[in-house]
Amino acid sequence: MATRTEYEARADEPAPTPATEPDRRHPVAAAVSVFGELLITAGLVLGLFVAYSLWWTNVVADHEADKQSHAVRDGWTADGGPGELNTEGGIGFLHVPAMKNGEVLVKKGTETSVLNDGVAGYYTDPLPAALPSDEPGNFTLAAHRDGHGAKFHNIDKLHDGDAIVFETKDTWYVYKVFKTLPETTKYNVDVLQQVPKEAGVTKPGHYITLTTCTPVYTSKYRYVVWGELERTEKVDSDRTPPAELR
């Protein structure tokens, strides 16, 4: 049998695959390709971070808030009749129909460690809040606007005359909005004064102040809403809510 020539043998060998071929791209083109891949990776990482910040933190915070809320209500039931506010576990629940945020547990303090649990907190610093059962003063509250429960996300939906209801173990406090401040510096502590003159009032009263970050998804400024106590109602055995919540 005749022996194949070296040329014929090489002709039968498989052609080099693209993976084994040397990269003959221009250095600039190769760099652009690598940069594009890095951008895609960075975009995926950023997308995951946004999903975590704006969705998953809400899931975690709402779960924690529900657990703490049940603990407060269970405590009210176990304690029986009226008693002093529990300033550690939670003093009551905020109901704001215009914000469509359900009931919001209110706890002591406005530190991140408090608000990240999907609750609202009353100020202890720089100006302490007056609690609803106290003498005339300003019940000042804060909550996140996005992420971590976003309990004040729809604060911009509040208008003059809208109801803000605070529920304690034995009393419903019904406030009505009378002033909003869509934007102010985060260093403006005057909005927390016991007589909040920036709201146009000049004498002591029973006020409530809601504060949160603005614009949405930033913390550059503060959004402020003021309300004034219109009336109180004693909680009955069925915890029938006031007309504003029905």
What residues are annotated to the active site? Answer: 213
How far apart (Å, rounded) are the C-alpha atoms in residues 136 and 138? 7
Q: Is 27 helix (H, G, I), strand (E, B) or coil?
A: helix
69, 103 in Cβ contact below 8 A? Answer: yes
Tokens of 63: 């779960």
Q: Is 55 helix (H, G, I), strand (E, B) or coil?
A: helix
User: Could you tell me what percentage of the chain is helix, strand and coil, using 3-state DSSP and rounding each to the nearest 5?
Assistant: 35, 25, 40
**Which of 160-165's residues contact partners 24+ apart within 8 Å by CB, and which partners?**
162/96, 162/97, 162/98, 163/96, 163/97, 163/98, 163/244, 163/245, 164/94, 164/95, 164/96, 164/208, 164/210, 164/225, 164/227, 165/94, 165/95, 165/96, 165/241, 165/242, 165/244, 165/245
Q: Is 231 helix (H, G, I), strand (E, B) or coil?
A: strand
